[in-house]
Amino acid sequence: MSDRYVLAIDHGTSGCKTALVSTRGAIAGGEFEPCPTHYLPGGGVEQDPQDWWRALLASSRRLIARGLVPVESIVAVACSSTFSSTVATKASGQPVAPCLTWMDARGAPHVQKAMRGLVNFQGYSLPNLARWVPRTGGAPTLSGKDDIAHVLYWKHDVPDVYREADFFLESKDWLNLRLTGRCAASFDSTTLFWATDTRDIDHVRWDDGLLQRLGVDRAKLPELLRSTDILGPLLDDVADALGVARALPVVVGSPDLQSACIGSGAVRDFEAHLYVGTSTWILCHVPFRKTDALHAIASLPSAIPGRYFAANEQDMAGGCLEFAIRTLLYPQSELRPEPPPPDLHARIDAAIAKVPAGARGVLFAPWLNGEKTPVDDESLRAGFHNLAVGTTLDDMLRAIYEGVALNARWLLLHTEKFAGRRLEPINIIGGGAQSDIWCQIYADVLGRTVRRVEQPRQANARGAAFLAAVALGDITFADIPGLTRFDRVFEPNLQHKALYDKHFAGYLDLWKRTRGWHRRWRHAPATDPAGQAGHLTP
Q: What is the pLDDT of residues 256-269, one digit of tens each?
A: 999 999 999 999 99
Name the more confident of 3 and 352: 352
DSSP per-residue codes, 168-189: EEEHHHHHHHHHHS--EEETTT
What pLDDT score was predicted for residue 535?
Answer: 33
Instruction: Establish if 456 belongs to a structural domain.
Output: no
C-alpha torsion sign, points 429, 435, 440, 446: negative
Q: What is the pLDDT of residues 192-201, one digit of tens each?
A: 999 999 999 9
Rounded-to-integer distance, Cα 107 and Cα 146, Å = 9
Residue span of the structural domain in which 208 resides: 5-264
What pLDDT score was predicted for residue 283?
Answer: 96
What pLDDT score was predicted for residue 524?
Answer: 47
State percent of the chain over pLDDT 70.
Answer: 95
What pLDDT score was predicted for residue 296?
Answer: 83
Instruction: Establish if 22 belongs to a structural domain.
Output: yes
Q: What is the pLDDT of residues 200-232, one digit of tens each?
A: 999 999 999 999 999 999 999 999 999 999 999
- The phi and psi torsions of 310 (rounded to 5 degrees) equal -125, 135
pLDDT exceeds cutoff 50 at 1: no
DSSP per-residue codes, 233-278: EPPHHHHHHHTS-TT-EEEEEEEHHHHHHHHHT--SBT-EEEEESS
What pLDDT score was predicted for residue 293?
Answer: 82
Most confident listed range (137-141, 164-168, 516-520): 164-168
Side chain identity at 105, as an amino acid letter?
Answer: A
Instruction: Establish if 152 belongs to a structural domain.
Output: yes
Instruction: Establish if 124 belongs to a structural domain.
Output: yes
Calculate the alpha carbon distances from 203 to 13, 42, 197, 198, 434 in Å. 31, 38, 9, 8, 38
> Stretch 241-254: mean pLDDT, rounded?
97
Number of domains the chain contains: 1
Side chain identity at 104, as an amino acid letter?
Answer: D
Instruction: Establish if 232 belongs to a structural domain.
Output: yes
What pLDDT score was predicted for residue 287?
Answer: 97
Determine if the peptide bond prior to 49 is cis (ω within 30°): no
pLDDT exceeds cutoff 90 at 525: no
Alpha-helix residue ranges (DSSP H) falling in 308-392? 318-324, 344-353
pLDDT exceeds cutoff 70 at 537: no
pLDDT exceeds cutoff 70 at 536: no
CATH number at residue 245: 3.30.420.40
Instruction: Establish if 14 belongs to a structural domain.
Output: yes
C-alpha torsion sign, points 121, 126, 129, 130: positive
Instruction: Establish if 187 belongs to a structural domain.
Output: yes
> Stretch 338-367: mean pLDDT, rounded?
95
Reduced to 3 states (helix: H, G, I; strand: E, B; else coil), residue 212 is helix
pLDDT exceeds cutoff 90 at 378: no
What pLDDT score was predicted for residue 377?
Answer: 87
> Stretch 376-394: mean pLDDT, rounded?
94
Instruction: Establish if 161 belongs to a structural domain.
Output: yes
Of 152-161, 373-382, 526-535, minimum mean pLDDT range: 526-535
Cβ atoms of 77 and 249 within 8 Å: the answer is yes
Q: What is the pLDDT of residues 79-126, one digit of tens each?
A: 999 999 999 999 999 999 999 999 999 999 999 999 999 989 889 999
* Parallel/antiparallel/unpaired status of strands 44-47 and 99-100: antiparallel
What pLDDT score was predicted for residue 334?
Answer: 67
> Stretch 317-327: mean pLDDT, rounded?
93
170 contact partners, CB below 8 Å, separation of at least 6: 81, 83, 84, 85, 86, 87, 147, 185, 189, 190, 255
What pLDDT score was predicted for residue 2?
Answer: 54
Rounded-to-integer distance, Cα 37 and Cα 45, Å = 7
